[in-house]
Amino acid sequence: MSGMSRIKEFNLPDLGEGLTEGEILAWLVKVGDDIELNQPIVEVETAKAAVEIPAKWAGRVQAIFHPEGSTVEVGVPIIAIDTDPGAGPVEESTTGAPASALPTPSAASLAAVEVAPAEGMVEPGLIGGAAPGGRTAVLVGYGPRNAPAKRRARKGDVPAQAAAPAPVAPAPAPVAPAPAVNGNGRASGPVLAKPPVRKLAKDLGVDLATLTGSGPLGSITREDVQRAASGTPAAAEPLTVTAPATSVASFGADREQRIPVKGVRKLTAENMARSAFTAPHVTEFLTVDVTRAMKALDRLRDRREWRDVRVSPLLLVAKAVLLAVKRHPMVNSTWAGDEIVVKEYVNLGIAAATERGLIVPNIKDAGRLSLRELADAMTGLVQTAKSGKTSPADMSGGTLTITNVGVFGVDTGTPILPPGESAILAFGAVREQPWVHKGKVKPRLVTTLGLSFDHRIIDGELGSKFLRDIGDFLADPEAALLAWT
């Protein structure tokens, strides 16, 4: 096997969420490591979830093309693997340099690399593969785009047919490719710093070339620049000391934080804006006395078979939504341009707050579950989300969503529809309030529901009846179950 044909480049795969790029959170291997087939090699941030990507080949890591923290477009090589390390050193390339040095490959050498089209694909059933029926699984609310991924041309770009990644590290040395470091601990090559850091340094008058970076691969961080600025003579020192003067407030970059819009935040912003200005939203509100529902939950918790189950008011709200959908199936539908797709299954999305942001995994075919099964599914869904292990499959295919804003002490809200869904319910905080009950003002447990819906599909009458049925169930769940089932 020739040196070039045994070196295989692994491209960042399309994880089936409609994403065009991903951020490398952590490399789980380093150059020189021997790896096995399907061994996790890198952790990539996708739409609000961290996904471990497995190796497609067994072999030895030859080069890593992108450091941790970098954003890589789908389809770009991220790692090179020697699939036959026992065959000896990699043959010299056509330039005469050792192939193990992995110089920037030319278009001709790239053509010799054995990356068959089928190897660039993911098998059906795996992450990024085709879903049953030939569809591509996408993140809930984040449908696949019709246009190809685009990015602005970067300075120094070359034509696509000649462009190629530049692997740096030699095969036998188990050292991750990184800028060479001199005796002072500073990178001897180009200074590694993100654009916001470079701007901060320029504003503060700090020469990045004189700094030693504390970030990944020796990159310079904001803290490095700020420390350097504070250690130099300040230009803002008062020129006269005859009398104490009030310091002038600074309104420059030193008091601003610039957060790059990328990955999760960028995708969320694009889809929320697209939904808000595509689907005509209508929001209705309903305040409900849920005292009987809270007492029913207390009785449920006391039952022996429910003592180890997490029972919350959200469980009854989810059950109310599922029963109301059976009575008003049009609510569980999608606008498809020249037709409305009414779905006979409910993939119920439950918004969950995590360290990476708010994600919306969904319970597949939730309408078929018993109340106990629904409780177990909701508990597992939230625990998985908070641990950061939610899979892309769990976040794709949602049909209707509940957002529990009450856990933040909020009474209600006007939620934005996830793209592709026609209704979303906001469940507010349950509070003790004065309420007229049986002709007398008494303290009762009250909540407010907010239902946003797509007015192209759901008119005011249908939306009002759907929200009313949810409220009726929460006002008296036992009577509603007897009447509706």
List Cα–Cα distances, 85 to 34, 90, 130, 168, in angstroms. 9, 8, 33, 18
Residue with tokens 């504390």: 214
What is the H or E stretch that residue 111 is in?
helix 107-112
How many whole angstroms separate alpha carbon 251 and alpha carbon 422? 44
Output DSSP code: residue 247: P
How many whole angstroms separate alpha carbon 83 and alpha carbon 35? 10
What is the H or E stretch that residue 42 is in?
strand 40-45
What the block records as the tokens of 142 is 């984040």
Active site annotation includes 281: no
How many whole angstroms separate alpha carbon 56 and alpha carbon 391? 19
Q: Which of 66, 281, 437, 455 is catalytic?
A: 455
Inter-axis angle of helices 291-302 and 477-484, nearest 10: 90
- Can you tell me whether residue 154 is helix, strand or coil? coil
443 burial (CB, 10 Å; 0-12 / 13-18 / 19+) is exposed
Output DSSP code: residue 193: B
Do residues 435 and 444 touch, judged by C-beta distance below 8 A?
Answer: yes
Residue 191's nearest CA partner among 219, 168, 166, 169 is 219
**Paired strand residues for 152:** none
What the block records as the tokens of 91 is 């043959």
Do residues 93 and 103 touch, judged by C-beta distance below 8 A?
Answer: yes
What the block records as the tokens of 36 is 């096995």
What is the H or E stretch that residue 300 is in?
helix 291-302
Radius of gyration of the chain (CA): 28
Would you name the residues annotated as active-site residues?
Answer: 455
